[in-house]
Structure 1
Amino acid sequence: MPKASNIATPESAKPAAVGLTARLRARFVRHGERTALAERYHSAPLKIAKSFPLRERQLGVIVMDVSPGMLAGDRYELEWVCEAGTHAYVTNQSYTKVHPSEPAHPAMLRQRYVLGPDAVCEAMMEPLMLYREAALDNRTEVRLAPGAVWMQSEVLCPGRALRGERFAYRRLDNRLRVQLGEELIFAQRQLIVPQEQRLGAPGAWGDATHAGMFYCMGDRVQPNHAGAVRQALGELPVRDRSLRWGVSPAYRHGLTVSVLGDSAWAVQEALHRAWSAARAALLELTPLQFRK
């Protein structure tokens, strides 16, 4: 049997690192009757482009990615800490774009939300666009204290349709876990491998190309709130009746909305309607009409 060598591997022989790691962290605190951004940290290419007050004591922040998008092996880590009684609105400047990568080096997105007692965080991001042969491992973790409410919407595009990309990406592994205190109240995994799955089959996506999800989680969410969201979606204009959607109460303390359609804007409008209904029923707040 050959003897193990104790000779160090030359630096030139080691595999080259792939991708970069970018981090962003923000902490919100209650300042009188307003929410303030008490701490923020970011490393390139991520940054908080601006923060701005909104009505109803809410603070909004916009995240910017100053790169062309996520490249092979890139890892983005974002953490949002909302202390007791704060109310934050989080969005980004444009689509999250994921470029081609080899199977061994997917792009990785890690998001963590920590909400204190009675805090509210609404994360309403722009759509996710995976280019041809792109791969993304996306994981979101949410930790809620009693009275806290977390909402998020996400829209998935099939690729750059005008360039002939329709489900030409390699893989999307999308996971979400929500804890209320020490109790796991929601967990979901969405795994899409277009070359191995029949996405157009009946019971799957059918002829739809875009998918959207809206989540509303917290111990303030009651079963009747799902009914209010369902009613709002049932009042969509006739032009949006081609959308397919469903509203489901979570196992405990939450609700989810699923939407399928043939364009990002139509899915976004449906999710905006669901979000507005949840805000009104749960928080007694009027809809936000924010446009970047």
Structure 2
Amino acid sequence: MRASFALRHGETAITGKYHTAPIKIAKTFPLDGQLGVMMMDVSPGLLAGDGYELSWQAGRDTRLYLTNQSYTKVHPCPDGTSASMKQRFLVDDGAYIENMMEPVMLYKDAAYTNETEVFLGRGSVWMQAEVLSPGRLLRGEKFQYRRYDNRMRVYYEEEMIFAQRQLIEPATQQLDAPGAWEDWSHIGSFYCFSDAIESVHADTLRAALQALPERLGQPIKYGVSLTYRHGLAVAVAGHTAWQLQELLQSAWTVMRCELMKLPPIRFRK
């Protein structure tokens, strides 16, 4: 799927799109000066051998909020097979992209590779939140997937400023070891990249998260740090997807206000 966006009469508008089944843009909708984009997967999820490729091109000064309808579900993959998703974000000067997708759910014996590339222009902002579920817990599938390979690279004016790889193979790793996952089941992350990010933003975000109310019986652990250049990262661990989503949404709201001077998104009924 490919989609491009540009300003038309001062508003962000979709100027081109192409897709092949089973993924498509279900709809676009206005969001107080932004354009919301809802992506749909009309299949049950990614099956063995499936490969999704998505390209998002945000023209100068556009404002995009991207989301999807439901969890990204990855079905069992027999040995030697896997499913994959590759996403590329081209964020022109002064453009904003907020990529806020639903969690990833890996079924028993699933193998999944997720690759993300981001290309930033001057004054642009790119944010993303991710939550990884350990499997269908009510079916007893906790950490029964085969492989999760998550990679990200971020470029600012053609210079790579961030690269990371997360490789999880539950059958061969001691996930419950001290200093690893211990007894946590769900992990999540929030990334924000912009040439406007300074150390004060990490301090502000850390203070905002510390002020969130504690939920009895729902412990959570998180950390906030700056990246090598022009970036900020939040890592969080917990026992349910919703509690991670709640914290990451708070981080997103703070950075929307700090960098973009925008209020929280309020969805119209």
**Bucket of the pairwise TM-score, normalised by the shorter protein:** over 0.9
Corresponding residue for residue 54 of structure 1: 31
Corresponding residue for residue 16 of structure 1: none
From 91, 103, 123, the counterpart of 1:127: 103
Structure 1 distance, partners of 2:52, 2:150, is 14
SS in 2 for 1:277: helix
Structure 1 residue 183 and structure 2 residue 159: aligned?
yes
1:199–1:289 CA distance, 2 compared to 1 (3 A): farther
Corresponding residue for residue 253 of structure 1: 230
Structure 1 residue 225 and structure 2 residue 201: aligned?
yes
Structure 1 residue 27 and structure 2 residue 4: aligned?
yes
SS in 2 for 1:239: coil
From 262, 276, 281, the counterpart of 2:239: 262
Mapped contact 2:129–2:191 kept (Cα < 8 A): yes
* Per-residue deviation, 1:33: 2.1
Mapped contact 2:60–2:95 kept (Cα < 8 A): yes
1:139–1:121 CA distance, 2 compared to 1 (3 A): same
The alignment's TM-score, normalised by the length of structure 1, stands at 0.90
**Matched positions, count:** 268
* Per-residue deviation, 1:238: 1.5
What do you get for the CA RMSD once the two structures are aligned?
1.3
* Per-residue deviation, 1:36: 0.4
Within 5 Å, which residues of 2 pair with 1:145-184?
145-184=121-160
* Per-residue deviation, 1:290: 4.0
Q: Could you report, residue by residue, the CA deviation over 1:6-52 in whole angstroms, capped at 9, with x for unpaired residues?
A: xxxxxxxxxxxxxxxxxx11101011221001111111000101100
From 18, 30, 47, the counterpart of 1:41: 18
Corresponding residue for residue 178 of structure 2: 202
The alignment's TM-score, normalised by the length of structure 2, stands at 0.97
Mapped contact 1:228–1:278 kept (Cα < 8 A): no
Give 5+ residue unaligned stretches, structure 2.
none
Corresponding residue for residue 276 of structure 1: 253
Structure 2 distance, partners of 1:98, 1:279, is 31
* Per-residue deviation, 1:61: 0.5
* Per-residue deviation, 1:202: 1.4
* Per-residue deviation, 1:291: 8.7
Give 5+ residue unaligned stretches, structure 1.
1-23
* Per-residue deviation, 1:251: 0.3
Letter in 1 for 2:181: W
Runs of 4+, deviation exceeding 6 Å: none
Structure 2 distance, partners of 1:36, 1:191, is 37
1:242–1:255 CA distance, 2 compared to 1 (3 A): same
SS in 2 for 1:47: strand
Identity of matched residues, % = 55
Structure 2 distance, partners of 1:176, 1:115, is 15
Letter in 2 for 1:190: Q
* Per-residue deviation, 1:285: 1.0
Q: Which has the larger radius of gyration?
A: 1
Q: Which moved more, 1:280-289 or 1:247-256?
A: 280-289
SS in 1 for 2:183: coil
